[in-house]
Copies of this chain bind each other. A is one copy, B any other.
Amino acid sequence: MPVTIDGQRLWGRIEAMARLGATPKGGVCRLALDDNDIGVHRQLADIAKRRGFRLLMDDVGNLFIRREGSDPSLPPIVSGSHSDSQPTGGRFDGIFGVLAAFESLEAIDDADIVTHHALECVIWNNEEGSRFVPGCMGSGVYAGVKPLDMAKATRDRDGISMGEAITQLWSCFPDAERRELGTPFAALLEAHIEQGPLLESGGEVLGVVTGMQGMRRFLIEVIGKEDHSGTTPRGLRQDALVDAIAIINALHALFWDGDDAIRFTIGHFELFPNAWSVVPGRVTFGVDFRYSDVETLKNLGDRVAPLAAEAAAHCRVSVNEVVNEPPVLFEGPVFEAIEAAVRSSGQPWRHIYSGAGHDCRFFPQRCPTGMLFIPCEKGISHNEAENAEPEHVAAGAQAIAESLLILDKQLP
Contacts and interface: CB of A to CB of B under 8 A. Distances in A.
A228 B275 contact: no
A154 interface: no
A133 B245 contact: no
A121 B268 CA distance: 46
Interface stretch (A100-108, A297-305, A379-387, A399-407): A379-387
A168 interface: no
Interface in A172-199: 194-197
A380 B231 CA distance: 9
A234 interface: yes
What is the size category of the interface that chain A forms with chain B?
A: 35 or more
A266 interface: yes
A86 B275 contact: yes
Which of A130, A236, A264, A268 gathers most chain B CB within 10 Å? A268
A267 interface: yes
Interface string A273-299: 111111111000010101000000000
A36 B245 CA distance: 36
B279 A267 contact: yes
A136 B230 CA distance: 14
A382 B277 contact: yes
A260 interface: yes
Contact of A241 (B233, B269, B271, B357): B269
B267 A129 contact: no
B88 A230 contact: no
A257 B196 CA distance: 46
A344 interface: no
A229 interface: yes
B381 A129 contact: no
A382 B217 CA distance: 33
A249 B245 contact: yes
Contacts of A134: 276
Interface string A342-382: 00000000000011110000000000000000000001111
Contacts of A357: 230
B356 A228 contact: yes
A277 B85 CA distance: 11
A276 B129 contact: yes
- Total copies of the chain: 2
A230 B355 contact: yes
A268 B275 contact: yes
A277 B288 contact: yes
A86 B273 contact: yes
Interface of A: 86-88, 128-130, 133-135, 194-197, 213, 215, 217, 225-236, 239, 241-242, 245, 248-249, 252, 260-261, 263-281, 286, 288, 290, 354-357, 379-384
25 contacts: A86-B277, A87-B275, A195-B230, A197-B236, A217-B276, A226-B382, A226-B383, A227-B381, A227-B383, A228-B383, A229-B265, A229-B267, A229-B288, A230-B288, A230-B355, A231-B263, A231-B355, A232-B263, A267-B274, A267-B278, A267-B279, A268-B271, A269-B274, A275-B382, A277-B382
A-B interface, 10 closest residue pairs, ranked by CB to CB distance from nearest: A231-B355, A229-B265, A196-B231, A230-B356, A226-B383, A228-B381, A228-B382, A278-B382, A269-B271, A230-B355
Given A231-B355, A239-B265, 14 more contacts: A130-B277, A134-B276, A195-B230, A217-B276, A228-B355, A231-B381, A241-B266, A245-B248, A265-B277, A265-B279, A269-B280, A276-B286, A277-B288, A278-B382
